C-alpha cells in the first residue's frame, strides 16, 4: 500500500487533531508536531494506539528535520486571547515556523500547505471577500501580530514557490468551529456554548448585528486535503469557509434553543479592530477543488454542544 508520511504541525490543536484523524483514517502515517501552547494531548489521545501515529513535542520556531511527503503547517495560536498573550512569539511562530517548514519542504521536495486565515483581509471593504482582495489590515494594532504574521507567511510561501519551486499551497480559513475547540479561547462559538451550558450570561460585543460565517471543522479538513491533492502549479490562495452569514444575535439565539439554556444576553463594547462582517467568496474552491461546505450551522452546533457538554462534566 502507498502509505504517505505526513507531518502536521499544530496537530494537537483544534483543527490539527481532526486533520490527523482523517489522514490516519485514509491509511497514512502521521507525525503530529506540537508545543502544546494551546493544543492538548486530550485532543489526540484517541489516536495514540494507532502505530502509524507519532507525536513530537517541538516548537516550529526552531528547525525540525524529518523525512515526509507532505507537510500541513497549522502551528500558531488562533484565538485573540492566545495570540495576544505573547504577540512577539505569535509573529515568530508564523514567520519562522513558515520558513522552517518551507526549508524542510524544499530539501525534501515535499508538498507544504499553510493554514492561512481570513484575517489577512482585516476589516474588509469588499464583501464577500474573494482571494483577489488585498485586505484592509492595521499593521500596528493588537491583532496585527497574528494578521501580519499570517500575511508574511503567505508571502514566504509564494516566494519559496517562485524562487525555489517549492510545492506550496495556501488555504485561507474562515471562522471554523467544532469539537476540540478550547473552551477558554474566547472565540464566539465556544464562548456562547460554554456560557449557555453553564447557565451564565451570554456576552455579545457591540450591538450583536455584526455578522460572521461559520464553517464546521469536517468541511474544512475536506477542503485542505483536496487542496493538497491539486497539481503543483496551483498554489492558491483558496478561501475555505461557509458563506452562510449569521449575526451574533442569531447565533446566540440558536445556541440558546439547542442547549435549552435560560441564559440572558448581555451587551459589551466591541474590542478594537474587530471586523464588522466577514464572509468568504468560495467560487475558486468550488472550481479548483470541487468543494463546498456540506454541514449547516444547526447540525454542526448540535455535535459541538454535545462535545462541550461532555468536557464540562469531566
Ligand atoms: N479555527 C479557526 O477558525 C481558524 C481560522 C483561520 C485560520 N486558522 C489557522 O488554523 C491553524 C489551527 O488553528 P486552531 O483553531 O486549530 O488553533 P489551536 O490553537 O487549537 O491550534 C494551534 C496548535 O498549534 C500549536 N502551536 C502554537 N504555537 C506553536 C509553536 N510555536 N510550535 C509548535 N506548535 C505550536 C498549539 O499548541 C496548538 O496545538 C492556525 O494556524 C490558525 O491560524 C484557524
Question: Whose C-alpha lies nearest to ligand 1, atom 41?
Answer: 74
Integer Cα distance of 85 and 74 in angstroms:
18
Integer Cα distance of 206 and 189 in angstroms:
16
C-alpha 150 to ligand 1 mean position (Å): 12
Q: What is the pLDDT of residues 74-95, one digit of tens each?
A: 999 999 999 999 999 999 999 9
Decide whether any atom of ligand 1 lies within 6 Å of the 78 Cβ.
yes
Integer Cα distance of 181 and 159 in angstroms:
32
Question: Whose C-alpha lies nearest to ligand 1, atom 30?
Answer: 59
Q: What is the pLDDT of residues 19-45, one digit of tens each?
A: 999 999 999 999 999 999 999 999 999
Decide whether any atom of ligand 1 lies within 6 Å of the 59 Cβ.
yes
CATH 3.40.50.720 fits 5-177+215-243+277-294, yes or no: yes
C-alpha 61 to ligand 1 mean position (Å): 14
Decide whether any atom of ligand 1 lies within 6 Å of the 13 Cβ.
yes
Nearest ligand 1 atom to the CA of 43 is 39
Nearest ligand 1 atom to the CA of 116 is 7
Q: How far is CA 58 from the centre of its chain?
A: 19
Q: What is the pLDDT of residues 132-178, one digit of tens each?
A: 999 999 999 999 999 999 999 999 999 999 999 999 999 999 999 99
Domain ranges of the chain: 5-177+215-243+277-294
Of 172, 305, 296, nearest to 244 (Cα)?
296
Decide whether any atom of ligand 1 lies within 6 Å of the 14 Cβ.
yes
Integer Cα distance of 122 and 118 in angstroms:
7
Q: What is the pTM of this model?
A: 0.96
Decide whether any atom of ligand 1 lies within 6 Å of the 76 Cβ.
yes
Catalytic residue numbers, as ranges: 146
Three-state SS sequence of the chain:
CCCCEEEEECCCCHHHHHHHHHHHHCCCEEEEEECCCCCCHHHCHHHCCCCCEEEEECCCCCCCCCCCCEEEECCCCCCHHHHCCCHHHHHHHHHHHHHHHHHHHHHHCCEEEEEEEHHHHECCCCCCECCCCCCECCCCCCCHHHHHHHHHHHHHHHHHHHHHCCEEEEEEECCEECCCCCCCCCCHHHHHHHHHHHCCCEEEECCCCCEEECEEHHHHHHHHHHHHCCCCCCCCCEEECCCCEEEHHHHHHHHHHHHCCCCCEEEECCCCCCCCCCCECCHHHHHHHCCCCCCCHHHHHHHHHHHHHHHHHC
C-alpha 1 to ligand 1 mean position (Å): 31
Question: Whose C-alpha lies nearest to ligand 1, atom 9?
Answer: 115
With a cut of 70, say whether residue 183 has pLDDT above it. yes
Amino acid at each position: 500500500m502507498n502509505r504517505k508520511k505526513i507531518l502536521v504541525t499544530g496537530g494537537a490543536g483544534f483543527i490539527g487533531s481532526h486533520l490527523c484523524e482523517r489522514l490516519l483514517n485514509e491509511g497514512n502515517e502521521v507525525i503530529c508536531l506540537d508545543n502544546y501552547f494551546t493544543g492538548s494531548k486530550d485532543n489526540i489521545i484517541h489516536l495514540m494506539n494507532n502505530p502509524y501515529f507519532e507525536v513530537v513535542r517541538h516548537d516550529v520556531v526552531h528547525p525540525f528535520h524529518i523525512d515526509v511527503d507532505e507537510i500541513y503547517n497549522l502551528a500558531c495560536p488562533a484565538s485573540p486571547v492566545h495570540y495576544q498573550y505573547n504577540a512577539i512569539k505569535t509573529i515568530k511562530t508564523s514567520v519562522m515556523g513558515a520558513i522552517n517548514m518551507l526549508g524542510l519542504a524544499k530539501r525534501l521536495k515535499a508538498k507544504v500547505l499553510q493554514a492561512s486565515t481570513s484575517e489577512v483581509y482585516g476589516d474588509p471593504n469588499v464583501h464577500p471577500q474573494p482571494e483577489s482582495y488585498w485586505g484592509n489590515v492595521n499593521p500596528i494594532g493588537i491583532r496585527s501580530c497574528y494578521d501580519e504574521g499570517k500575511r508574511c507567511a503567505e508571502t514566504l510561501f509564494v516566494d519559496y514557490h517562485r524562487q525555489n519551486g517549492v510545492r506550496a499551497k495556501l488555504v485561507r480559513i474562515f471562522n471554523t468551529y467544532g469539537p476540540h475547540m478550547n473552551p477558554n479561547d474566547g472565540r464566539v462559538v465556544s464562548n456562547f456554548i460554554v456560557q449557555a451550558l453553564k447557565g451564565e450570561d451570554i456576552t455579545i460585543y457591540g450591538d450583536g448585528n455584526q455578522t460572521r460565517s461559520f464553517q464546521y471543522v469536517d468541511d474544512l479538513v475536506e477542503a485542505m486535503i483536496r487542496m493538497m491533492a491539486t497539481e503543483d502549479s496551483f498554489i492558491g490562495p483558496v478561501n475555505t469557509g461557509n458563506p452562510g452569514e449569521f449575526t451574533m444575535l442569531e447565533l446566540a439565539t440558536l445556541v440558546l434553543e439547542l442547549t435549552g439554556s435560560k441564559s440572558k444576553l448581555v451587551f459589551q463594547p466591541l474590542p478594537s479592530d474587530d471586523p464588522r462582517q466577514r464572509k468568504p467568496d468560495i467560487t475558486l474552491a468550488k472550481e479548483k477543488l470541487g468543494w463546498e461546505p456540506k454541514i449547516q450551522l444547526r447540525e454542526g452546533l448540535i455535535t459541538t454542544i454535545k462535545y462541550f457538554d461532555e468536557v464540562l462534566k469531566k
